[in-house]
Structure 1
Amino acid sequence: MHLRVPPVAVFLIAAALLAAGHFLLPMLSLTFPGQVSLALLLGLTGLVPGLQAVLEFVARKTTVNPMAPETATTLVTGGIYRISRNPMYLGLLCILLALALFWGTLTVIVIAPAFVWYMTEFQIKPEEDSLRQLFGEEYKTYLAEVRRWI
């Protein structure tokens, strides 16, 4: 598998598009009381699954490199991975939503689903193919038990 765009780069592009939407299309923005507080809360909520996921990988001494899932040495199914197969990407999505809320940009209606679609098609599905080859039936069982996002 040859993944070409690192997930962090995809996240940064999506964040830049949200910022562009806010600054270039102000008529598609809204504000309300408590907006910044809610954005901070959502952003912090997004950090939790991502950090928990990284800690799970480190504890099991397997790769956290999303560009090379074929180098994984252990199938991680515990901790946050009992809730989501992709908590790092879920965390990035929450942070994107927090940015959109902070800026109040309604362009999130297009950008967030595009992020989910792109990550699913061009990152997650290829990762799943690699992990299926590496871990066989154990991974197939995990796929049946835990949802892709949440």
Structure 2
Amino acid sequence: MNAYRAKPLTYPWPPVLYVVAMLAAVALGRLVPISVAHSHGWLSWLAGAALILVAVSLDIWALKTLIERHTAVLPHRRSSHLVTCGPFRLTRNPIYLGYTIMMVGLGLITLNPWFFILASLAVALTTAFAIRKEELHLLSRFGFEFERYCRATSRWI
């Protein structure tokens, strides 16, 4: 049996990676602050809160879709079905996109630029170390059907 067919990851790294990135952004914001203009703090707070609401809604929608299709929710589990409906019509990684949007929202609320920097780093690391393995897993499990899905739907947005 193909190694990627069994399961994509040995540990659910992406959620851990994003939590570490958020904690690092908070720590760096205190240790190495980057000054930001505070002219309309309520506007950035409102935009950040709206983004966090979008991110949480996207994550819940994606989780609900995966559960309804009776397939793996955690990234280190074997997928039993290729899910291409719900938020997966818009992006192949709606949960990770939700995590990223949440970091941007937190950056706007706290006016901490480290959230933007570390969100970019989290996207790069998640793509390199998790998404590519997940895609190999899905390709080995679903073949042409997954290739067709990849051509029709972007990885992030």
**Corresponding position of 1:48:** 57
Q: Which residue of 2 aligns with 1:97?
A: 104
Alignment of 1:61-140 (within 5 A): 61-68=70-77, 71-140=78-147
The answer to whether the 8 Å contact 1:49/1:87 transfers is yes
Which moves more between the two structures, 88-97 or 23-32? 23-32
- Provide the residue aligned with 2:15 in structure 1: 8
Using structure 2 for the length normalisation, give the TM-score. 0.87
Q: TM-score, normalised by structure 1?
A: 0.91
> CA offsets, 1:69-89, max 9 Å, x none?
xx2111000111110000000
1:79–1:127 distance in 2 versus 1, CA, 3 Å? same
Residue 58 of structure 1: how far off its partner (Å): 0.7
Identity %: 27
CA distance in 1, matches of 2:70, 2:12: 24
Match of 2:31 in 1: 24
CA distance 1:32–1:18, shift in 2 (3 Å):
farther
Question: What whole-Å deviation, never above 9, does each CA across 1:94-122 have from its counterpart, x for those lacking one?
Answer: 11111111111122342121111001011
C-alpha contact (below 8 Å) 2:104/2:115 kept by paired residues? yes
Q: Which runs of 5+ in 2 are unaligned?
A: 1-7
Aligned length: 148
Q: Secondary structure at the match of 2:81?
A: coil
Aligned equivalents of 1:18, 1:136: Cα separation in 2? 39
- Distance in 1 (CA, whole Å) between partners of 2:11 and 2:39 is 39
* Structure 1 outlier segments of 4+, above 6 Å: none
Aligned-residue CA RMSD (Å): 1.5
Give the gaps of 5 or more residues in structure 1. Answer: none
Give the residue type in structure 2 aligned to 1:117: A
What residue is the counterpart of 2:3 in the other structure? none
